[in-house]
Chain A
Amino acid sequence: MLMSDAPSITAPTASDRISDPMLPSPYRVQRARWDTDDTFSLELVPLDSDDIPHFAPGQFNMVYVYGVGEIPISISGDPTRRDLLVHTTRAVGTVTRAMSKLRVEDMLAARGPYGTAWPVAEAHQKDIVIVAGGIGLAPLRPAMYHIMAHREQYGRVVLLYGARTPGDVLYRKQLEQWRAHFDLDVFVTVDRATGSWRGSVGLVTSLIGRAPFDPLNTVALVCGPEVMMRFTTMGLEKRGVDTKNIYVSLERNMKCAIRLCGHCQFGSTFVCKDGPVFRYSQVQSLLTKWEV
């Protein structure tokens, strides 16, 4: 069977919380801010309960904007904070553009969380390498929060982040804070330097070679464009990381997020249920084909 050798990357689900699985819950915008020119974050508080549903790092919600539509967005807040739901997304489609126009006190609705999670519990005592490209940092941030809150349970922790330009660097302040930690190795690079940037220039894959981790005792969490994830995995494999220990998060069209609409099929998997976080070895042969 498909996922028989899958790691235990299952996570709590909403199934026993709501009877009609397509019915979202209302939220109020508490804070809205632009992270970059095209990427914004919303902080949301639940209106019909005190707490947001418990979620695991890597899971996503279906977010609904009144009269416009509903889309899957990964959760990018701190999983220990139950009072606040944080979503970071780019304003590129109809729904995300409408979302970007929401102001404090405006309402939207969300349901979830759905999908598999980053294997943060399974990675205890191991080195962690997080590789993020562009907005791929958003679904990885809850994993960073978790790891930082349980820092003693891990070996070396490395964050490699690449953005197109210095202006596209997401969560810049937070990256700088993390970089100030003595027990974190944070490397940031940009594809193209602009303005006064004097940092690293080059693809995020170029950071893999010099990153300090033990390839034989490492769990890698990778999120970004698919082509970036393919090359990142190649780089990690070259360093000696087994593809079984590399995890990627995939994006596919989703209408229901509950394995019923059929849209997110990827080979025999449903990305909403079997993903979005996959062990790379499970999807490698699919990811190297076109139009699967």
Chain B
Amino acid sequence: MVKISRREGRAAQLIEHHDFQSLFDVLKAKKYRLIGPTVRDGSVVYDEVARVDDLPVGYSDEQEKGSYRLNKSDDHRLFGYGVGPHSWKKFLFPPAVRLWQARRDDGSFQIIPEDYHAEPLALIGVRACELNAIAIQDRVFLDGEYRDPIYAAQREKLFVLAVNCGQAGNTCFCASMHAGPRVTGQFDLAVTEVINGESHYFTVEVGSPRGEEVLSEVPHRPASGEEKALANQIITQTAASMKRSIDTRGIKQRLYASFEHPQWDDIAARCLACGNCTQVCPTCFCSTVEDVTDLSGNTADRWRKWDSCFTTDFSYIVGGSIRSSVKSRYRQWMTHKLATWIEQFGTSGCVGCGRCITWCPVGIDITEEIAALRAEKQPATAVEAAKEDVSYADV
């Protein structure tokens, strides 16, 4: 995981539940478009929110392998659910974006660059795993020799209101990936929601001067020691109640050594190669390009779109697809996510958000599959492969 140093800020502050709308109002007054969780089509998605009431107030979710269900309860919790199918990447790395246009005129053509307009966005309710996912995508899109100008422009215009998770979803395993549930940096403001008897409040941590400025315009007061302790306890409980985990010790070598492991065949027998896991993953960054011409043929637009390594087209070169089997495509996805990513970007590509488990239509669970790959009993072929693969790790 990306290590983020904990910000030593001033003492924790507190916003009462009835003042939370004022936080929205201040951000709006500062010309931010507010994006946050909201209920649509039976799940929590990220979209524009104007008021606190637009959040999934009183909702909780039940997530399991291949299943997701929202339940409404009587409490007024604003953040009483886990992450849904959306992640914030759709705002920084849009699912479809026009890169440029070509206009034909009299045998020649002209290339017209696109103006990338990034509007100030305030992201409401960003979880620790998601902050880490953004930090990972920062490395992908900003740290290379070439920066993605679209990502870079939007990244600079974010206000991040983070939320410490008050409950662990059934498919969560962020604690084992060292990516949550406690928010540890890269935010402007971070809140923990506390309901204690009649009181309903948010303890607030300030993460930036911008956060400080916003908070100063919202009714707040210093949190008492007891209030802080309660908030702390909630996060600790969340971590403790997390059921799933991945053993990340030596995971890179383990996966390199497992290239011929029979478990891949087992997974391939179940995997539909639908690519859902890559679409819901907050770090998956693969894209393709498409050329779209108008009916006259005089304009040709070049679009960039999200792509998935689960398609056969993804690795196609003349003569055929490099990864024609489902087995090889699942292996590529998981090996990339948990192993080669470390070599490429100095961090795992997984934050343990559990989306790929929940949204897999056949319920393939990355934590179970890793455990199976790690299982003691391996057929001779895999042991042989492990020996041979020492050089792979050293590539």
Interface residues of A (CB under 8 A from B): 1-2, 13, 15, 19-26, 64, 66-70, 90, 92-93, 105-107, 109, 251-253, 255-256, 258-263, 265, 267-270, 273, 282-286, 289-292
Contact indicator B113/A23 (Cβ below 8 Å): yes
Q: Is B289 an interface residue when CB atoms closer than 8 A count as contact?
A: yes
Majority DSSP secondary structure for residues of B touching A: mixed
Output the nearest chain B residue to A66 by Cβ-Cβ distance: B109
**B141-149, B228-236, B237-245: which lies at the interface:** B141-149
In the assembled complex, how far is the CB of residue B45 from the closest CB belonging to chain A, in whole angstroms? 25
Interface residues of B (CB under 8 A from A): 99-100, 102, 104, 107-111, 113, 140-141, 144-149, 259, 285-289, 291, 293, 297, 300, 302, 304, 307, 309, 314-318, 322-325, 327-328, 331-332, 336, 339-340, 343-344, 388-389, 391-392, 395
Residues of A within 8 A of B99 (CB): 22-23
A2 and B287 alpha carbons, distance in the complex (Å): 24
Contact indicator A253/B322 (Cβ below 8 Å): yes
A284 and B322 alpha carbons, distance in the complex (Å): 17
Residues of A within 8 A of B343 (CB): 1-2, 268
Residues of B within 8 A of A255 (CB): 287-289, 307
A15 and B287 alpha carbons, distance in the complex (Å): 20
Contact indicator B315/A263 (Cβ below 8 Å): yes
Known contacts A265-B332, A268-B395; is-contact A260 B315 (Cβ 8 Å)? no
A2 and B288 alpha carbons, distance in the complex (Å): 25
In the assembled complex, how far is the CB of residue B154 from the closest CB belonging to chain A, in whole angstroms? 15
Known contacts A2-B343, A262-B287; is-contact A285 B388 (Cβ 8 Å)? yes
Contact indicator A270/B344 (Cβ below 8 Å): yes
Query: 7 A–B contact pairs at CB < 8 A?
Result: A23-B99, A255-B288, A256-B287, A268-B343, A273-B145, A285-B395, A292-B328
Residue from the list B113, B293, B340, B344 in contact with A20, Cβ < 8 A? B113
Residues of A within 8 A of B288 (CB): 255, 261, 263
Residues of B within 8 A of A69 (CB): 289, 291
Residues of B within 8 A of A258 (CB): 144-146
Residues of B within 8 A of A283 (CB): 395
Residue from the list B304, B323, B340, B395 in contact with A282, Cβ < 8 A? B395
Residues of A within 8 A of B325 (CB): 291
